[in-house]
Amino acid sequence: MNWKLRKWLYLACTFAEAVAVIAVRRTRRLLGLPARPHSADVFLGVFLRHALGRQRRLRITCRDRTDGVGAQAHTIMSALCFARAQGHTYVHTPFTEIDHAEWPMDAWVAAWEQLFNLGEGEIALESAGPPPINYSTFHPRLYHALKDFIARLANRTAPPAGSGRREERHFQPLFYFSDCHPDEYDRVIPDLRRKYYRHSSPLQNRQLTVAIHMRRGDVTPAHRQRFTPNAEVLETMRRVRALLEVHGQEHVISLHSVGAASDFAEFRDSGVVLSLNVDAIWTMRQLIEADILIMSRSSFSYVAALISDGIKLYEPFWHSPLADWIGCDRKGRFDERAFAAQLAGLIRNRQPQVSGHVSAGKAPGN
């Protein structure tokens, strides 16, 4: 099923589930029966009011996540976007557990918290006030029941509960706001950059840098919605390189992923620097502060692109691009005129021998 269709099916099922849950709860109340609310009922009530345009001012937070840092940071950034656009209050809950930990968990979450610095200037979870609504965790019961039924009709086996392949990690009912209105991120991008650069000095890129992110490891060719073949990315890289050469720009291209060097032999043979199986925090910095970022279908590079003030080449997937991101097709092609226009602006903003990121005089906004 197409991801766009799945997203709207998800939202329709969540809306129907919210109506049903609230109707049952009110009926039981009228009959004098105990309401027996489910843990998701409060969230469904909030979602229904939001969908009907009748929401009150909310306090929202993101907690109880254990998946990767890209997905968690992206959800927080989406919550900030939603809160700013709708007049709600974001309450910051620090990371507590992040998948794929490379260090002891306490040090791992602390390092990511410091890198993104998303809590700076925000209300802390311990602050006085009503308990915030959790923006990030909701199990869509009706949606999965319907999707599993469709899978059985098609003689396919539905993934078991808890398998980690269910869409609740990607299609939170309120998360859809930033996917339907991605340019609302413009309200928070200056803050995201200010927070990020609070604790780090910008990288000094002596040459124009191109960073390629390729999702591998737990993403294989079997994951058709997430896997991008080498040939597609290689074509994008070749077109970028040709345009840089036309404009006389010295550059270095690096590829960031996991796996063996033999998995990326075509890139290595083309002079691309392979950065494989290295520190994820270092990798995130390279993606954020590259002059040109070639993204993958991953929240890891999506988060980097939100903070980056460089040129972003976006590969379509279930999270929508911002207006100035340049889309690539399934053959690795993109709008070369749009790229050339952004490249001209990038060249103008670069100071001699320095990349021109925020500390080098470039405005922190778009």
Is this structure's pTM higher than 0.85?
no
What is the domain partition of the chain in residue ranges?
3-197, 203-360
Q: How far is the CA of 61 from the CAs of 81, 83, 176, 179, 184, in angstroms?
A: 12, 10, 16, 18, 18
CATH of 203-360, one of 1.10.275.10, 3.30.300.10, 3.10.110.10, 3.40.50.2000: 3.40.50.2000
Residue 273 and residue 252 in contact, taking contact as beta carbons nearer than 8 Å: yes
b vs e for 257-275, b when ≥16 Cβ sit within 10 Å of the residue's Cβ? bbeeeebbeebeeeebebb
User: Residue length, the chain?
Assistant: 366
Is residue 195 within a helix (H) or strand (E), and if so which, with residue range? helix 189-198
Q: Is 231 helix (H, G, I), strand (E, B) or coil?
A: helix
Report the DSSP beta bridge partners of residue 210: 253, 292
Report the DSSP beta bridge partners of residue 255: 212, 274
Q: What does the alpha-carbon distance between residue 105 and residue 110 come to, in Å, rounded to a whole number?
A: 8
pLDDT in tens, the chain (366 residues): 555 676 677 677 777 877 777 787 778 778 888 766 555 566 666 666 666 767 678 888 998 888 899 999 999 999 999 899 888 899 999 999 999 899 999 999 999 999 999 999 999 988 878 888 888 766 666 766 776 777 677 765 555 444 444 444 444 555 567 887 899 999 999 999 999 999 888 887 789 999 999 988 777 677 766 778 899 999 999 999 999 999 999 999 999 999 999 999 999 999 999 999 999 999 999 999 999 999 999 999 999 999 999 999 999 988 899 999 999 999 999 999 999 999 999 999 875 544 444 433 333 333
Helix then strand then coil, in percent of the chain rounded to 5, is 45, 10, 45
